[in-house]
Chain A
Amino acid sequence: MIEDIGLITLTIAFTFSLYATFVSAYGGWRGYEAWVESARNAVLLVFPLLTISVVIVVYALYTLDFSLAYVYDVSSQAMSPFLRVTALWGGQQGSVLFWAWMMAGFVAVVLVRKWERDREMMPYFIATAMLTTTFFVGVVLFITNPFMRLWHIEGADELTKALFQPANSMPYFPEDGGGLNPLLRHFGMIGHPPTTYLGFTGFVIPFSFAIAALITGHSRGDEWIRTTRRWTLVAWIFLSIGLILGGRWAYDVLGWGGFWGWDPVENAMLMPWLTGTAFLHSVMMTEKRGMMKKWNMILIILTYSLSLFGTFITRTGVISSVHAFSKSALGPAFFAFIGLTFLGSVTLLYLRWDTLKSEHTLESFISRESAFVLQNMLFLAITFAVFWGTVFPLISELVTGTKITVGPPYFQKATGPLFFVLVLLMGVAPLFAWRKQAMRALGKAIWIPFAGSLGITALWGYVHRMHPASILGLWLVTLTLSLILAEFWKGVQARCAARGENPLTALFNLIGRNHRRYGGYIIHIGVVLIALGFIGDANFKMETQGTVSSGESLTVGDYQLRFEQLRGYHGSDGREIVEAVTTLSQGGEAIRNLNPRRDYFVVQQQPVTIPGVYSTPGKDVYVLLVGWDDTGKSATFRIYVNPLINWVWIGGVMMILGTIIAAWSNPAQREATYVIRPEVLTTQPVPQEG
């Protein structure tokens, strides 16, 4: 019965969302303050209402109430209580509810915190954000409802899922459920969906403010950028964490020895990340120079639309098969909503285009301003290449009827050179001054790191002379890293000289004095380390596969893997485990026992290959148990040597750290708002150019 309460609160939440959307828009338009306040109160109720629904679903998952179809699909008796709770986002119905709930939470927090500050924009902020929330709550309520029950209709072979009792049916109570997809039972996949959704839904805040700014004509004041800066950072970092956890999950569970496969689902997540990253940079230009206002709008509209698009293709599976589109109402509903969001925002942007004039002009082609423009364009070009490769199979099937695959080789070739220039720019651009950069000064700042990087690359090139293709990549990483470190070095040195601090204190104070700048640099270091991981993966990866009998060895590089024996046992969560006992040695010396295994989930009839990994900062030796013969006397292994792969995870942690520093408010900067633009410009009308 308690589930009925969840359904009721869900229904009320939908009504209130819809109410808030229209009442706030109308109230804002006609200037009826009371209407807007009423909309606000409705929003503040939507979140607790949805919370009740979410808690009830979690409770049903936890107590294994199999009368609910969703619980039957994703939970089972063999699952630990923790896994049962995480099953909330283990299937479609729960995921979408979770999405809607988080979005409502974000909007509620904004209304509590920013209500007084951005009063004029609020009606339209509420309308935009709640329109999206209404859509998601509506999808949960009408299309993919987690409160649907199982019914057995007389004479039917299959069970029916429905909210209310169909004619001639009996409620059906299964004894046990199917349980969570075994592949998803990993910390990466438990953390990946919530962080990704936090990232996706987090972008609704800057997006809604941008739309509100366009509608009210406040876009010129750029107030919305300052209001949403931290929101954007939070959304961005959750999206980044989601990407990293997803990569880690793929590496640990999918059993192909890699962490990024350019799969449509991965691309769907990468695209909003790319445009979101461009947006984060672009707003700096507006804050400091009052330029690139149009860019900000374009980028946030793209980021948000791509977030929706990402949810669309992960949830409907439309890319792998066109037929998935029409299987449920979900595909068409999403498609229509994305179209509405995108076209609506673009139209609005078009109408307000002229209000988004740049307040400054370009003094020199070699300046921070130019670097920002180039950077934005690079991010957009990469996004386009990824988007095009992701949707092309669909286009091909629709136009010519031929199914094709666009695999990793395309993405590597199409985006590799662009990423190269982008990383280079990341190292060089912070050295450029605003307005105008004197070449002589730039040369002076660059030459030591540049010469150093050439020296180190020459040394590396000599060591890795078997892999000439890697040299360029290694040079790029070395140069960029040394340029960033040189920035830290200069700051530390200046503080040491001026204040007599010791280097460590100086570094600490340096970062403490300007969180945004040095937090940003730390993120950049993280990106360089991730690039290093990709370079290792692209150039130095080795692999072999072979079948060996007990006591024999397989060789890859200077590693040998000796197969000892197979053993089988029962594992937790209803799995049968077959594990190989092997010894890994290097140059004849044993270094580690590895136990690659195959877990067979009996109920789901699904095998999961768990690698045995010997992990060092330099490289991972990653062993998969591919198969074995009846007697257990011989087995087939696949061994990957994955160089530098750990730097991807280390870089990821650096990125998170840097973002936390950058988002931390800076006591020193709270007073001076750090704007070069003369303040008179914001109080007096901007002179019209020409």
Chain B
Amino acid sequence: MQTMRRKLMSVLLILVMSLYAVSTVSAQDGTGYPTDDDVNRIAKQLYCPVCPNTPLDVCETKACEDWRAQIRDQLSWGWTDQQVIDYFVAQYGERVLAEPQRKGFTSLVWFLPLIAILVGAGIVYEILKGWRAQRLAPRATAPPQIAPEVLEKIERELREMD
């Protein structure tokens, strides 16, 4: 029984191993162009067109392997990096780009934070100016009388803070 089970498991194991063996479809000799690194350089800038939020260079699905193989083919035909990227955009849409474009509606993603920072800087300035103005404006009522011992306590605590 035990050996039977073990045999079964090893058959299963071989099955599993061969299942994954496909991942080295194009076993390179390691020197020729394009290398895996060339492919990854481009795949890194792209997102998997089917899986959510997965960069193409690390995606483990079969589809992504095929896409990487496709990049390799295109590079070996002499395409430039940009041509490969443009091809993917034309084929699968803007969503394959890791870095959103700076044109059309998409440019809003870049511009709005910039505007927000400017507005924020303006608000900071206004707040500080407002606080200043309050200080410079004459007070309608006299400042409250502070008991000497309280004043002394304040002074003491102020000194302690330093």
Give me the interface of A with B, judged by CB distance under 8 Å: 254-257, 261, 263-264, 291, 317, 320-321, 358, 361-363, 365, 369-370, 373-374, 377, 380-381, 384-385, 388-389, 392-393, 396, 399-400, 402-410, 414, 418, 434, 543-548, 552, 566, 568-570, 576, 578, 598, 600, 602, 607, 609, 626-630, 632, 634-636, 638, 672, 674-676, 678-681, 684, 687-690
Q: B4 an interface residue at 8 Å Cβ cutoff?
A: no
Bound state CA distance, A380 and B117, in angstroms?
Answer: 9
User: What residue of chain B has the Cβ atom nearest to residue A370's Cβ?
Assistant: B128
Interface contact B127-A629, CB-CB below 8 Å: no
Using known A-B contacts A607-B20, A629-B27, A634-B24, determine if residue A690 contacts B109 with beta carbons closer than 8 Å. no
Interface residues of B in 25-66 (CB under 8 A from A): 27-28, 30, 35-37, 40, 47, 52-53, 55, 57-58, 60
Which of A320, A361, A636 is in CB contact (< 8 Å) with B134? A361
Interface contact B28-A256, CB-CB below 8 Å: no
User: What residues of A have a CB within 8 angstroms of the CB of B113 in the complex?
Assistant: 381, 384-385, 388-389, 414
Q: B23 an interface residue at 8 Å Cβ cutoff?
A: yes
Interface contact B157-A674, CB-CB below 8 Å: yes
Interface contact B140-A570, CB-CB below 8 Å: no
Bound state CA distance, A409 and B99, in angstroms?
Answer: 5
Interface contact B135-A361, CB-CB below 8 Å: yes
User: What residues of A have a CB within 8 angstroms of the CB of B138 in the complex?
Assistant: 690
Using known A-B contacts A373-B124, A405-B98, determine if residue A389 contacts B53 with beta carbons closer than 8 Å. no
User: What residue of chain B has the Cβ atom nearest to residue A288's Cβ?
Assistant: B161
Q: B77 an interface residue at 8 Å Cβ cutoff?
A: no
Interface contact A256-B117, CB-CB below 8 Å: no
Interface contact A392-B21, CB-CB below 8 Å: no
Q: How far is the CB of A94 from chain B (nearest CB, A)?
A: 23
Bound state CA distance, A385 and B114, in angstroms?
Answer: 9
User: What residues of A have a CB within 8 angstroms of the CB of B135 in the complex?
Assistant: 361-363
Which 5 residue pairs across A and B have the least CB separation, nearest first? A627-B23, A407-B98, A361-B135, A320-B52, A362-B131
Give me the interface of B with A, judged by CB distance under 8 Å: 9, 12-14, 16-24, 27-28, 30, 35-37, 40, 47, 52-53, 55, 57-58, 60, 93-101, 105-106, 108-110, 112-113, 116-117, 120-121, 123-124, 127-128, 131-132, 134-135, 137-147, 150-151, 154, 157-158, 161
Residue pairs across A and B with Cβ atoms less than 8 A apart, 15 shown, are A254-B58, A361-B132, A362-B128, A365-B132, A392-B109, A405-B94, A410-B110, A548-B30, A627-B22, A627-B24, A628-B24, A676-B158, A678-B150, A678-B154, A687-B144
Interface contact B100-A405, CB-CB below 8 Å: yes
Which of A321, A361, A630, A672 is in CB contact (< 8 Å) with B52? A321
Known: A547-B28, A600-B16. 7 other contacts (CB 8 A): A402-B93, A403-B95, A404-B94, A407-B47, A569-B13, A576-B12, A678-B154
Bound state CA distance, A321 and B52, in angstroms?
Answer: 8
Using known A-B contacts A380-B120, A404-B100, A568-B17, determine if residue A545 contacts B140 with beta carbons closer than 8 Å. no
Interface contact B128-A377, CB-CB below 8 Å: no
User: What residues of A have a CB within 8 angstroms of the CB of B154 in the complex?
Assistant: 676, 678
User: What residue of chain B has the Cβ atom nearest to residue A633's Cβ?
Assistant: B27
User: What residues of A have a CB within 8 angstroms of the CB of B36 in the complex?
Assistant: 544-547, 636, 638
Q: How far is the CB of B160 from chain A (nearest CB, A)?
A: 8
User: What residues of B have a CB within 8 angstroms of the CB of A569 in the complex?
Assistant: 13
User: What residues of B have a CB within 8 angstroms of the CB of A254 in the complex?
Assistant: 58
Interface contact B157-A570, CB-CB below 8 Å: no
Interface contact A384-B116, CB-CB below 8 Å: yes
User: What residues of B have a CB within 8 angstroms of the CB of A684 in the complex?
Assistant: 144
Interface contact B13-A544, CB-CB below 8 Å: no
Which of A320, A358, A578 is in CB contact (< 8 Å) with B17? A578
Interface contact B117-A418, CB-CB below 8 Å: yes
User: What residues of A have a CB within 8 angstroms of the CB of B55 in the complex?
Assistant: 256, 261, 407
Bound state CA distance, A675 and B157, in angstroms?
Answer: 8
Bound state CA distance, A566 and B36, in angstroms?
Answer: 21
Which of B23, B57, B139 is in CB contact (< 8 Å) with A687? B139
Using known A-B contacts A407-B55, A629-B27, A678-B144, determine if residue A578 contacts B16 with beta carbons closer than 8 Å. yes
Interface contact A626-B23, CB-CB below 8 Å: yes
Bound state CA distance, A389 and B60, in angstroms?
Answer: 25
Interface contact A672-B24, CB-CB below 8 Å: no
Bound state CA distance, A609 and B146, in angstroms?
Answer: 69
Bound state CA distance, A400 and B112, in angstroms?
Answer: 17
Interface contact A681-B21, CB-CB below 8 Å: no
User: What residue of chain A has the Cβ atom nearest to residue B94's Cβ?
Assistant: A404
Interface contact B105-A396, CB-CB below 8 Å: yes
Q: How far is the CB of A243 from chain B (nearest CB, A)?
A: 18
User: What residue of chain A has the Cβ atom nearest to residue B147's Cβ?
Assistant: A680
The CB with the most chain A CB atoms within 10 A, among B100, B121, B154, is that of B100
User: What residues of A have a CB within 8 angstroms of the CB of B127 in the complex?
Assistant: 373
Interface contact B147-A630, CB-CB below 8 Å: no
Q: How far is the CB of A374 from chain B (nearest CB, A)?
A: 6
Q: How far is the CB of B105 from chain A (nearest CB, A)?
A: 5
Interface contact B16-A403, CB-CB below 8 Å: no
Interface contact B27-A634, CB-CB below 8 Å: yes
Interface contact B120-A409, CB-CB below 8 Å: no
User: What residue of chain A has the Cβ atom nearest to residue B18's Cβ?
Assistant: A630
Bound state CA distance, A547 and B9, in angstroms?
Answer: 28
Q: How far is the CB of A407 from chain B (nearest CB, A)?
A: 3
User: What residues of B have a CB within 8 angstroms of the CB of A629 in the complex?
Assistant: 21, 24, 27
User: What residue of chain A has the Cβ atom nearest to residue B95's Cβ?
Assistant: A403
Interface contact B116-A547, CB-CB below 8 Å: no
User: What residue of chain A has the Cβ atom nearest to residue B109's Cβ?
Assistant: A392
Using known A-B contacts A362-B135, A547-B36, determine if residue A410 contacts B128 with beta carbons closer than 8 Å. no
Bound state CA distance, A409 and B137, in angstroms?
Answer: 48
User: What residues of B have a CB within 8 angstroms of the CB of A600 in the complex?
Assistant: 16, 19-20
Bound state CA distance, A291 and B16, in angstroms?
Answer: 65
Using known A-B contacts A404-B94, A578-B20, A627-B24, determine if residue A680 contacts B124 with beta carbons closer than 8 Å. no
The CB with the most chain A CB atoms within 10 A, among B53, B57, B95, B137, is that of B53
Interface contact A607-B60, CB-CB below 8 Å: yes
Interface contact A264-B94, CB-CB below 8 Å: no
Interface contact B16-A410, CB-CB below 8 Å: no
Bound state CA distance, A358 and B16, in angstroms?
Answer: 68
Q: How far is the CB of B58 from chain A (nearest CB, A)?
A: 4
Q: How far is the CB of A385 from chain B (nearest CB, A)?
A: 4
User: What residues of B have a CB within 8 angstroms of the CB of A543 in the complex?
Assistant: 37, 40
User: What residue of chain A has the Cβ atom nearest to residue B135's Cβ?
Assistant: A361
User: What residues of A have a CB within 8 angstroms of the CB of B150 in the complex?
Assistant: 678-680
User: What residues of A have a CB within 8 angstroms of the CB of B40 in the complex?
Assistant: 543, 545, 638
User: What residue of chain B has the Cβ atom nearest to residue A406's Cβ?
Assistant: B100
Using known A-B contacts A384-B116, A405-B100, A687-B144, determine if residue A609 contacts B60 with beta carbons closer than 8 Å. yes
Bound state CA distance, A675 and B13, in angstroms?
Answer: 69
Interface contact A402-B27, CB-CB below 8 Å: no
User: What residues of A have a CB within 8 angstroms of the CB of B140 in the complex?
Assistant: 687-690
Interface contact A546-B35, CB-CB below 8 Å: yes
